[in-house]
Each structure stands twice: as structure tokens, then as C-alpha cells.
Amino acid sequence: MPTSSHTQNLSDFVAGLPKAELHLHIEGTLEPDLIFKLAQRNHIELPYSSEEALRSAYAFTDLQSFLDLYYAGASVLITEQDFYDLTTAYLKHAHYDGVRHAEIMFDPQTHTARGISMATVFAGIVRALRDAHKATGMTSYLLLSFLRHLSEQDAFDTLEAALPLRDQYRDVWIGIGLDSSERGNPPEKFARIYTRCKELGFRLVAHAGEEGPPSYVRDALDLLHVERIDHGIRAEEDPALLRRLIAHQTPLTVCPLSNLKLHVVEDLRQHNLARLLRQGALVTVNSDDPAYFGGYVAKNYTECARALDLSREELTALARNSITASFLPEEQKRKLLDEISAYAEGLI
């Protein structure tokens, strides 16, 4: 007899729920143990005496205080094998958490600025994605993210450096994103590169409305023509904007534990995830930078279930949203949605 979804323990229910993860920075999955291992392998001296000392520095006050450590941590990534090991470690966590498809952001400028070639970054990440697909059937796409604290010209140079690799990685590199310091770096700064990327046929996402105001969400839609908003939770402050997001079913990739750790919300019980879901917004749950924020995607689901009193039906709706909001072909979406239905009905 299959266990009914209502009697099954919450963590097991969530881990077994087929889902997609759509908001994940691969550099944000770099755990302290791997930072130390790669530092040793690459003969890099770290300003921390131990993994515990490093972890104890993860007491962020806002987005920038996190980004400073996140970019410093990424400096241990040097070789193709480093990027492979990083990505493989994330995919293991994701597989364990019931992730069937991941859309993974990476920040090439963080690496090319240190003299690491674009080819090295792509090769290591993609080899791991392909190996994981062979081993587990999990699928994944890559979203090349531009750093918004850098210039428009730097973004164009980065695109130029990556485009020669496009044919080789066409099956995985399907889109572009925009991340890093939000405040003071509005969407309009990147309107021209988004126009270019759209002409090139890339899928478009951007961070907006994490720390930045609702107008950044509106401008990401109107000036960047994004199909999905990363975070977007501050859109709730503008009722007309929220009505528009709901009417168009524009997906929001929400990252609750990230919002908690970066003081976007002070208590998970105050998070608007449940409110947005109950109003009909296409919200999804994601981990953002799990090595820094204390939990991979399943923990984001379970912590929200406890804090916001989400029912099993609502958790299932969030998993369905993650598939609907993905860039997978319709046929694959249908297959995964059918699996979720079967799971929720206790048939598998």
C-alpha cells in the first residue's frame, strides 16, 4: 500500500515530490569544505583558520555583505575540474531533494576577471551536468548571468567571449540572467544587452525586487522583456504590478531562506510566499545560494511549510509551478506534471 501524502512525514513527502529548481547560483553552492579542499589543491591561502571559522563569518546584514564573501569564496575555483567538482556536489544535493530539472545560473565575470577562461568555466560545469544526466536522468539548463555592479560594456565583452562556445553547448546554455548588487543598478542599465540576447534567441530572466523596489520588477518586464523574475517578492508593494504578474502568470523564483538570511524578511512567518501563492501568483521555491543560506531546495519547502502552514496540496502546487515556470519543452513539462499528479495522489 502506498503511504498517503497526509500521513507521510513532511521531509520525506517534500523530497519525494518531483520538482524543478529555477533559481540557483552554482557559485553559491560552494560549501566551506570544498572551499578548503580547492584552496589546498590550488595553493591558495585563505584568511580563515578552519571551515568553522569561515562558516561563522556567514552572518549577513544585507545582500552586499553576502556578495562580498560569495565572490571571495569563488576565488578558489581555478581549473575545469574545480568547476566540475562544484557542480557535481550541487547535483547530488539536488537529486537527493527530488530535483528532476535544474536551471542553473553562473557568473562568468567572477572568473574571467581573475584570468580563468570562459572555456574552462563552461567545460567543467557542462561535463558535470552531462554526467549527472547519464547517472540519474536529471536534466539541466544554464543561464549565463551578468553582474549588474559591472558596466554594460563588461557585459557585452562577456557575451562576446561566450558566443563562440554557443554551438558546442546549445543544448544546455539556453538563457541569460542578471544578478549581484541590485540597489543602484537598475534594469535600464542592461536594456541594450537584453535586446541583443533576445535577438540571439536566449531565454531571459533577471533578479528584481529582492532588495530593489517594485519599479525594478516593472522595468525588468518592460525594458528587459524578461520571461521570469528572480525573487520579485517586493512586487507585492505595488498592487497594480502584482495584478499584472498574476494576470500574465509571470513566474517569480522565490528563495525564502535567502530572504531570511539577507534580512529581506526578519522572520519566515512574515514571508509573502504563501500570500502570493494564495492570490494566484506563479511562485516557485528555490535555494539561491544554499551553501551560504543554510539549506538546499527541499529545506526551503519544509521550512516554509512549517512557518507558513502550507498544506500538502500547496506544496504540490509549488512543485507544479516549478515545472510550469521552467524553460523545458511542453512535452517534458507535461510528463513531469503527470508524475507530480501521480505522486500527490499516492499512486507512486
Catalog residues that contact ligand ADE under the rule CB under 6 A: 25, 28, 63, 70, 179-180, 207, 210, 258, 288-289
Question: Smallest distance from the beta carbon of 145 to Zn ion, in angstroms?
Answer: 8
Task: Return the number of the residue (286 or 316) whose C-beta is nearest Zn ion.
Answer: 286
Kindly state the smallest distance separating residue 286's Cβ from Zn ion, in Å.
8
Write down the least CB distance from residue 219 to Zn ion, Å.
18
How many C-beta atoms surround the C-beta of residue 51 within 10 A? Answer: 16
Q: Which is nearer to ligand ADE, 85 or 179 (CB)?
A: 179
Which ranges of 42-177 would DSSP assign to H, the alpha helix?
51-56, 63-74, 80-96, 108-112, 118-136, 152-162
Q: CB-wise, 258 or 326, nearer to ligand ADE?
A: 258
Of the candidates 142, 137, 139, the one whose C-alpha atom is nearest the C-alpha of residue 124 is 142
Q: Which residue is closest to Zn ion by CB?
A: 288
210 is catalytic: yes
Please, which residue, 30 or 91, has the CB nearer to ligand ADE?
30
State the maximum Cα–Cα separation within the chain, in Å, rounded to a whole number.
Answer: 60
Q: What are phi and psi of 78, to 5 degrees?
A: -120, -50
Length of the chain as a residue count = 348
Give CA 257 to chain center in angstroms. Answer: 12
Closest CB 70 distance from ligand ADE, rounded Å: 6
Closest CA to 283 of 266, 308, 263: 308
For residues 24 and 317, which CB has a smaller minimum distance to ligand ADE in the complex?
A: 24
Residue nearest to ligand ADE (CB): 179
In angstroms, the CA 316 to CA 338 distance is: 12
User: Is position 288 an interface residue for Zn ion (rule: CB under 5 A)?
Assistant: yes
Residue 119, phi then psi, degrees to nearest 5: -65, -35
Count of helices and strands (H, E) across the chain: 17, 8
Among the options 80, 182, 210, 236, which is catalytic?
210
Q: Mark the segment that binds Zn ion (CB under 5 A) among 10-18, 83-91, 263-271, 281-289.
A: 281-289
Residue with cell 502506498: 2
210 binds, among Zn ion, ligand ADE, none (CB under 5 to 8 A by kind): ligand ADE
Which entry of ligand ADE, Zn ion, none binds 317, CB below 5 to 8 A by partner kind? none
Q: Determine if 21 is a binding residue for Zn ion (CB under 5 A).
A: no
Could you please report the per-residue DSSP string of 288-340? BSHHHHT--HHHHHHHHHHHHT--HHHHHHHHHHHHHTS-S-HHHHHHHHHHH
Please list the residues that pair with 285 across neighbouring strands. 254
Find which of ligand ADE, Zn ion, none residue 245 binds, CB within 5 to 8 Å per kind. Answer: none
CB of 255 to Zn ion, least distance (A): 6
So which residues are the catalytic ones? 210
Chain positions contacting Zn ion, by CB under 5 A: 288
